[in-house]
């Protein structure tokens, strides 16, 4: 039965997912609470999280326009004395319980199981891009070059402004994203 035909089903599905996300309970805990199969609860949570992301992403993480990139760059120039910078990138390992039959896929160099959160922030420490879920065994730079952000950058789909002159220079310079030594330099 489609969700639209049964609004109570939508509400119960949302509430079960929110309980999982807010409580730290396992799928097994919810299995006993709701008398639903573990795979059913897993599917419900995934469905709801995907729907929340699809609905809220355009509002919470809108695609930056050319004007927004210029605004971000002006904040970096003003607050960090770093002209032509449109973001700061880094990755963070989020500790997880080892998934069944995953081998060493999620095991990282810090000697625990994780997924990688890759984020780009503006000069006010606000996220402008996030990518969550890469296997813990991958380094930040590997996650970055396999991210949707990098793929869109390579295809010139990010609405980035044209190169600009820096004070005292004769040649226009590209806008950059700053990161630690895990991220290679390149255009």
This prediction has a pTM of 0.78
- Rounded Cα distance between 47 and 17, Å, is 9
The pLDDT score that the predictor gives to residue 23 is 87
User: What are the tens digits of pLDDT across the range 160-179?
Assistant: 999 999 888 899 999 999 99
Within 10 angstroms of residue 82's Cβ, the number of other Cβ atoms is: 15
| CB contact burial 16-53 (16+ within 10 A = b; e otherwise) | bbeebeeeeeebeebbeeeebeeeebeebbeebeeeee
Q: Are the C-beta atoms of 72 and 86 separated by less than 8 Å?
A: yes
- pLDDT higher at 140 or 1: 140
Tokens of 142: 């590997």
Tokens of 109: 């160099």
114 band by pLDDT with thresholds 50, 70 and 90 = very high
The pLDDT score that the predictor gives to residue 171 is 92
Is it the case that residue 75 has pLDDT exceeding 90? Answer: yes
Do you know the residue count of the chain? 187
Mean pLDDT, the chain, whole residue set = 89
Tokens 């949302």, located at residue = 14
The pLDDT score that the predictor gives to residue 1 is 44
User: What are the tens digits of pLDDT across the range 118-131?
Assistant: 999 999 999 999 98
The pLDDT score that the predictor gives to residue 68 is 96
Q: Are the C-beta atoms of 85 and 77 separated by less than 8 Å?
A: yes
- % of the chain with per-residue pLDDT over 90: 51
């Amino acid at each position: 039965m489609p969700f639209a035909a049964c609004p109570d089903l939508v509400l119960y599905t949302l509430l079960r997912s929110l309980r999982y996300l807010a409580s730290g309970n396992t799928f097994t805990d919810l299995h006993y609470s709701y008398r639903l199969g573990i795979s059913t609860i897993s599917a419900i949570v995934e469905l709801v999280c995907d729907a929340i992301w699809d609905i809220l992403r355009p509002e919470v993480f809108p695609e930056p326009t050319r004007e927004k990139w210029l605004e971000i760059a002006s904040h970096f120039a003003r607050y960090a004395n770093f002209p032509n910078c449109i973001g700061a990138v880094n990755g963070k390992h989020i500790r997880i319980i080892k998934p069944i039959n995953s081998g060493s896929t999620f095991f990282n160099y810090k000697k625990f199981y994780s997924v990688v959160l890759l984020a780009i922030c503006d000069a006010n420490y606000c996220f402008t891009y996030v990518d969550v879920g890469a296997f813990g065994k991958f380094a930040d730079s590997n996650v970055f070059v396999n991210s949707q952000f990098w793929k869109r950058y390579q295809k010139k789909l990010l609405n980035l402004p044209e190169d600009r002159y820096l004070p005292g220079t004769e040649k226009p310079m590209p806008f950059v994203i700053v990161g630690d030594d895990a991220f290679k330099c390149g255009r």
